[in-house]
Homo-oligomer: A and B are copies of this chain.
Amino acid sequence: MGSGPDGIRPIIGPEYIKVVSMAFLLPNDDAPVIWRGPLKMGAIRQFLEEVNWGDLDYLLVDLPPGTGDESLSILQLLPEMDGVIIVTIPSEVSQAVVKKAVTFARKMNVPILGIVENMSGMPCPHCGEIIEVFSKGGGAKVSDEMDVELLGSIPLDPQVAADSDEGVPFIVKHPGSPAVEAFIQIIKKIEKKVP
């Protein structure tokens, strides 16, 4: 990441995805960002206003869990966004968090594009049997209870963490895997909703 007279230049990753992150601005990877909300909101505003994004098909903001400062800031700074995607794991316990996020988006009048169930049933790499590592069925249940579309379920795959540790996106290194296929089906649904 660098900056010039035309603004902050994002990093360009695989598939020409442009990325900015606080992590790129820190002096080293030990340095914590000990910021309360107002400073965080300032940084988010800068990322939106001062980065030279150029033409984008989509701007995707990856937020921390919950309904705190970061989510509030983004929804206030981008009131006309196309929508939010809520990501959950299959367990029932995590459904309470999802319900809160749905209510939060509705209160803020932001469309909900759907729910994605991540870390769903994982085929054992040794014997192939499915393991429900984080319980199961929660995505469908909360989709039903809150009347929000379930966009899909992405199976948990140990290669995601392994590839990330190598610095290679899983989707680039393992095309055709069930998790990547599930991912692509979800993307197609989102593209239809946000052309």
* Chain A residues close to B by CB (< 8 Å): 23, 29-38, 40, 64-69, 72, 89-93, 96, 99-104, 107, 122, 124-127, 129, 131-135, 146, 156, 158, 161-162, 164-165
Contacts and interface: CB of A to CB of B under 8 A. Distances in A.
Given A93-B165, A131-B158, A161-B91, A103 B68 contact: no
A33 B72 CA distance: 11
A68 B69 CA distance: 10
Given A31-B100, A64-B66, 11 more contacts: A30-B100, A32-B100, A32-B101, A32-B103, A64-B64, A89-B161, A93-B161, A124-B127, A125-B129, A132-B162, A133-B156
A56 to B, nearest CB: 25
A72 B36 contact: yes
